[in-house]
Amino acid sequence: MPINHETFKEIKKIVIGEAILLALMFAVFFIIGKFDFTVLYGGLLGGLSNILYFLLICLSVNTVLDEKNLNRSKASIAMSYYTRLIVLGICIAVGLYFDCFHNIAVIIPVLATRPILYVAELFGKGVKK
């Protein structure tokens, strides 16, 4: 299923926001003298899992919009929700379990979706209604 233009713009905002957040987070870790490869790996794992989570949201919404059957739409959204949570939970669990990932560097990017969207809306780059 192709991604429409508005969906692509929203995904692009998340990718740019995650990149900026990761750069800021890496800079803070560098300034306080705690930057190492575990921070880099943890940030990349958290950022990529968050981008994947948002991409799956967008794809499931586009799929449901094309669906004509209401019951099937509800089931599709519920299945997508649980699948996204499981994938995100596995990524977080892997990041927290293995020592090659810094715990804080994994968690911060995962919690960034809503703030990124708020900041994008604040700067006038949000979806116009």
Residues 6+ apart with CB under 8 A from 95: 42, 45, 46, 49, 101, 103, 106, 107
Residue pLDDT, tens place only, 15-52: 999 999 999 999 999 999 999 999 999 999 999 999 99
CB 63 within 8 A of CB 76: yes
Q: Tell me: the pLDDT tens digits for 44-95?
A: 999 999 999 888 888 888 888 777 888 888 888 888 889 989 988 999 999 9
Q: Within a domain: residue 127?
A: no
What is the biggest distance separating any 2 CA atoms in the chain, rounded to whole angstroms? 56
Establish if 64 belongs to a structural domain: yes
Task: Tell me the backbone φ, ψ of residue 122, rounded to 5 degrees.
Answer: -65, -40
pLDDT band at 2 (very low <50, low <70, confident <90, very high): low
| Domain contains 76 | yes
Domain contains 128: no
Residue 57 in domain? yes
User: Is residue 77 domain-resident?
Assistant: yes
116 with 14: CB under 8 angstroms?
A: yes
Q: Rounded to two decimals, what is the model's pTM? A: 0.84
Whether 99 is covered by a domain: the verdict is yes
Contact (Cβ atoms closer than 8 angstroms) between residue 66 and residue 60: no
Residue 115, pLDDT above cutoff 60: yes
Structural domain count, the chain: 1
**For residue 129, is it within any domain?**
no
- What pLDDT sits at residue 127? 52
Q: How far is CA 58 from CA 5, 55, 64, 101, in A?
A: 11, 5, 10, 28
Q: What is the residue range of 72's domain?
A: 5-122
